[in-house]
Amino acid sequence: MTPRVLLRIYLVLTIAFIFAPVATLALFSFHDGQVSSFPIDKFSTRWYTYVFKNQELREGVSNSLYVGALVSILSTVLGFISAHLLARRRHRRQQTYILLVSYPSLIPLLLSGLALSMYFQYIGLIGSLTAIAVAHVSYTSPFASIVIYHSYNQLNVDIENAASNLGASRLRVLCCVVAPQIWVSLVASSLLCFLISWDEFIVAWFVGGFNKTLPVVIYGMMGGSFNPGLNAAGTLSIVASTSFLAIIFGLFILSRREHWHEKIHH
Amino acid sequence: MTRLRLHVATLLHPLWQLCFSFLPLLLLVCISFWTVVKFQLVPGASLVNYRSLLKSPLYFHALTTSLWLAASNSLLAALIATPLAYAIAFHIPDRWQRSIIFSLLLPSLSSYVVRMFSWQPWLNDKGLFSFGLKFLGLKMHPIIYTPLAIRIGLLSVLVPISSLVIYLGLLRIPPWMHSTAKNLGASDRQFFLFLALPFVWPGFCAALMISFILSFGDFVAVSTLGGNQVYTLSMLVSDAIRINDWPTAAAIATTMIVISVLAILGTFSLLRLTPTLSRKEGEK
């Protein structure tokens, strides 16, 4: 067998390895029995009705949505500002600035969660959803910054210079000139931050206290007696994340197409 | 006035990170020097927490387990991911490349807790692997609650991320290099060793670092798939917090921070070993 064929087989096997648990999760979520094992005799959607009626899960979802919305907005704003500054100003210490802004993403979340749970006790924010949002913003804003920074190569800096020559303030240039052009990456970065926050467990667990986001609720349900409703809840969560990812991906393709469009027609 | 506003804007993002990431970590390190007297937290400067850690065999067991798990998993993930990224970059038509990378990332960007949970039916004693093996007439010790289960769970997350990072590095290879090398008679192996490797190496190091950080601080996979049988530093920290022993938890966490920083610095020195090409990319 040629290396080509071997590599292709390797690719298929690895993808199968990564998708296998997700596939079985979805499969078992339609299983009518209590135990997640073969053989599957009856199929039903009873676990999905259970999930929709479960109060704890619904609270988890609404908490996650609230936190995610806060995180996506704040992160995108912060990331936009730092990306703009990195792209437009030649700092003497650009590397230091990047490090100062991005280092929270390099710290294991367990340690940030621990530190923040102690910190928030002292400043009185512990146990609230706002605290979780604030913690998540620290972690996700570097990603927002990277995404937005990469869209700057399609901008023409002369337009911004012209605008400020005509009297626009810096803020106005940001909002009225730059933002409308890179709106795709702004949306993509807010969705990405929402997604990261939606799936994040450990910091939310440490900081949230009794306010549980969805992953915290799921983790709590895992500890006790085996709960097959978790299969349905898990599948729904993955479907939600996947749809968001698909939207982000579609936005990237869209922005590429716009970019090509401009390049050809200039 | 606008000068001032500009300075404020410049500092906004770093200030946020300072307030909500650096200061909490600083507080954590400080708390590691405090003591608990009669259930009250007493500020101070004492090394008693660290001394008790150094005397504790449980700590060393957890430390070695964590280090071994993180190091071996990050190396495994990067090694598994490299041929994968290479296959995607060079043996898949361009149109499909993005879709395949996307579908690789798809499961791994959905809820971490859910994904570890979804490995359980595969790995437990009534699970699917045992089912398949029974078919073949073999009986095997259930994989769940062993380090192997944790390894499988972690790899299912680390491999996609590693392959994305390495793939992004491979993308920087100028498209003409591959065809030119082929025209000049280079085999696939020669191309990989002499031309692709300098592009692979930074991605490989980045993948190693990211995987190490992720597995070292991992809690979900260890507790879900390892149960109480595999004890790592993350379990030790959560146990300490559960009994409200902040100083001990802070001390363990501080040692973990030190190790993580060392790992990051180590990666930077690995990066310096990047083999350089004789001509820079960008020159035609």
State how far residue B168 is from chain A, nearest Cα, in angstroms.
Answer: 14
Q: How many CB pairs under 8 A join A and B?
A: 216
Residues from chain A that touch B13, judged by Cβ atoms under 8 A, are: 78-79, 81-82, 101, 141, 145
Predicted pLDDT of residue B25 = 92
Whole-number Å distance between alpha carbons of B156 and B118: 11
Q: Do B122 and A21 touch (CB under 8 A)?
A: yes
Q: Do A14 and B84 touch (CB under 8 A)?
A: yes
Judge if pTM exceeds 0.90: no
Q: Which of B26, B111, B164 to mutate to test the interface with A (most CBs of A within 10 A)?
A: B111
Q: Which of B215, B172, B195, B221 is nearest to B278 (CA)?
A: B195
Mean pLDDT of A119-148: 89
B278 pLDDT tier (thresholds 50, 70, 90): very low
pLDDT for residue B118 is more than 90: no
Amino acid (1-letter code) at residue B48 = V
More confident residue, B224 or A142: A142
Measured between CA atoms, the residue of chain A closest to residue B100 is A15
State how far residue B188 is from chain A, nearest Cα, in angstroms.
Answer: 8
ipTM over 0.95 threshold = no
Q: What is the mean pLDDT of chain B?
A: 81
pLDDT for residue A81 is more than 60: yes
B73 pLDDT tier (thresholds 50, 70, 90): very high
pLDDT for residue B276 is more than 70: no
Q: What angle do CA B63, B65, B66 make, to 5 degrees?
A: 65
Q: Do A114 and B241 touch (CB under 8 A)?
A: yes
Q: Does B109 touch chain A (CB under 8 A)?
A: yes
Q: Do A218 and B218 touch (CB under 8 A)?
A: no
B283 pLDDT tier (thresholds 50, 70, 90): very low
Which positions 133-172 of B are in contact with A (Cβ < 8 Å)?
A: 156, 159-160
Predicted pLDDT of residue B275 = 64
Would you call B276 helix, strand, or coil by DSSP?
Answer: coil
State how far residue B210 is from chain A, nearest Cα, in angstroms.
Answer: 8
Residues from chain A that touch B214, judged by Cβ atoms under 8 A, are: 108
State how far residue A135 is from chain B, nearest Cα, in angstroms.
Answer: 7
Q: What is the mean pLDDT of chain A?
A: 82
pLDDT one-digit tens code per residue, B86-112: 888 777 777 777 777 777 777 776 778
pLDDT one-digit tens code per residue, B127-180: 666 556 665 555 555 666 778 888 888 888 888 888 888 888 887 777 777 778
Q: Out of A116, A141, A169, name the one closest to residue B24 (CB).
A: A116
Predicted pLDDT of residue B284 = 35
Would you call B30 helix, strand, or coil by DSSP?
Answer: helix
Which positions 169-198 of A are in contact with B (Cβ < 8 Å)?
A: 169-171, 195, 198
pLDDT for residue B70 is more than 90: yes
Q: Does A161 touch chain B (CB under 8 A)?
A: no
Structure tokens at B270: 């690995």
Q: Out of A18, A135, A215, name the one closest to residue B159 (CB).
A: A18
Q: Does A202 touch chain B (CB under 8 A)?
A: yes
B83 pLDDT tier (thresholds 50, 70, 90): confident
Alpha helices in B109-232 (DSSP H): 112-123, 128-135, 147-171, 175-183, 188-190, 197-216, 220-226
Mean pLDDT of A244-261: 72
Mean pLDDT of A204-214: 87
Q: Do A118 and B246 touch (CB under 8 A)?
A: yes
pLDDT one-digit tens code per residue, A218-251: 888 876 556 777 888 888 888 888 888 888 777 7
Q: Does B256 touch chain A (CB under 8 A)?
A: yes
Predicted pLDDT of residue B91 = 73
Contact B162, B81 (CB under 8 A): yes
pLDDT for residue A69 is more than 90: yes
Contacts 24+ apart (CB under 8 A), A252-256: A252/A184, A252/A188, A253/B98, A254/A184, A255/A151, A255/A154, A255/A184, A255/A185, A255/A188
How far, CA to CA in Å, does A192 sit from each of A223, B123, B132, B271?
29, 31, 38, 28
pLDDT one-digit tens code per residue, A22-46: 888 888 777 776 665 566 667 777 7
State how far residue B253 is from chain A, nearest Cα, in angstroms.
Answer: 6
Mean pLDDT of A69-89: 90
Mean pLDDT of A200-208: 89
pLDDT one-digit tens code per residue, A161-191: 888 888 777 777 777 778 888 888 888 899 8
B46 pLDDT tier (thresholds 50, 70, 90): confident
Q: Do B234 and A25 touch (CB under 8 A)?
A: no
